[in-house]
Structure 1
Amino acid sequence: SCLLLTLYAPLLTRKTSRPSNPWFTRELKLKCKERDKLYKLAKKYRDQNLLARYRLIRKALKIQLNSAREDYLKTALLSNSPGSSVWSKLKHLGLTNSNSSSPLNFFDPLELNEFYANIVRRHPSCENEFLASLHLESTRQVECSFNWSEIDIVDVTKAVQLTLAKSKGKSPDGLDLRWLKDHLPQAMILGSNGRLRQLQEFDFPPVKINGVVIPYTDSAKCLGVYIDRSLSWNTHVSQVVRKVNSALHCLKVRKNIFTKELRKVLVTATILPLVDYCSAVLVDATAENDRKLQRALNASIVGFIFDLRRDVHISPYRKDLSWLSFKYRRMYFMTCLLYKLLSVGKPNYLRNLFVEEADVRRSDRLAAKKHTSFELPRFTTTYLEHSFLVTVIRVWEELPSDIVNSNSLEVFKNKVFGYFLQLDF
Structure 2
Amino acid sequence: MDELEILGVIIDKKLTWAKHISNTAARAGQKLGALRRVANKLDVKGRATVYKAQVRSVMEYASLCWMSASTTTLKLLDSIQSKALRIIGVDEQQARMDLNIPSLHHRRQVAAASVLYKMHTSLCPPDLKALLPKPYMIRRATRTSLSMPSHALTEPVSRTLSTGRTFVHVAVHVWNGIPDCVVGEITDYGAQSFKSRVHQHLLGLRFSRGFLSLS
TM-score by length of 2: 0.80
Matched residues, number: 195
* Equivalent position of 2:144 in the other structure: none
Distance 2:122 2:53 in 1: 28
Query: 1:279 touches 1:330 (CA, 8 Å); kept in 2?
Result: yes
- Residues 253 and 348 (structure 1), Cα distance of their counterparts in 2 relative to 1, 3 Å cut: same
* Equivalent position of 1:342 in the other structure: 120
- The 3-state SS of whatever aligns with 1:374 is coil
Distance 1:355 1:248 in 2: 39
Distance 1:359 1:413 in 2: 26
* Equivalent position of 1:409 in the other structure: 191
* Equivalent position of 2:166 in the other structure: 387
The aligned amino acid for 1:248 is L
Distance 1:376 1:396 in 2: 10
Q: How far 1:399 sits from its partner (Å)? A: 0.6
Distance 1:261 1:228 in 2: 38
Distance 1:331 1:292 in 2: 18
Report 1:13-412 matches (<5 A): 188=1, 218-303=2-87, 305-306=88-89, 314-319=91-96, 320-344=98-122, 346-357=124-135, 359=137, 371-406=150-185, 408-412=190-194
Query: 1:356 touches 1:372 (CA, 8 Å); kept in 2?
Result: no
In our comparison, the structure showing a higher alpha carbon Rg is 1
The aligned amino acid for 1:387 is T
Query: 1:219 touches 1:229 (CA, 8 Å); kept in 2?
Result: yes
The aligned amino acid for 1:232 is T
Deviations 1:234-267 (A, max 9, x none): 1111111111111111222222211222212211
Flag structure 2 segments of 5+ consecutive residues without an equivalent. Answer: 139-146, 208-215
Deviations 1:371-404 (A, max 9, x none): 3232233443444333322221111100111121
Q: How far 1:417 sits from its partner (Å)? A: 1.1
Distance 1:331 1:249 in 2: 28
Flag structure 1 segments of 5+ consecutive residues without an equivalent. Answer: 1-187, 189-217, 309-313, 361-367
* Equivalent position of 1:421 in the other structure: 203
- Residues 353 and 254 (structure 1), Cα distance of their counterparts in 2 relative to 1, 3 Å cut: closer
Query: 1:345 touches 1:351 (CA, 8 Å); kept in 2?
Result: no
- Residues 402 and 253 (structure 1), Cα distance of their counterparts in 2 relative to 1, 3 Å cut: same
Deviations 1:329-364 (A, max 9, x none): 11011011111111235221221122323746xxxx
**Identity over aligned pairs, percent:** 23
- The 3-state SS of whatever aligns with 1:254 is helix
- Residues 377 and 258 (structure 1), Cα distance of their counterparts in 2 relative to 1, 3 Å cut: closer
Distance 2:45 2:135 in 1: 47
TM-score by length of 1: 0.42
RMSD: 2.4
The aligned amino acid for 2:95 is R
Query: 2:68 touches 2:163 (CA, 8 Å); kept in 1?
Result: no
- The 3-state SS of whatever aligns with 1:328 is helix
- The 3-state SS of whatever aligns with 1:343 is coil
The aligned amino acid for 2:51 is V
- Residues 382 and 255 (structure 1), Cα distance of their counterparts in 2 relative to 1, 3 Å cut: closer
- The 3-state SS of whatever aligns with 1:221 is strand
Which moved further from structure 2: 286-295 or 351-360?
351-360
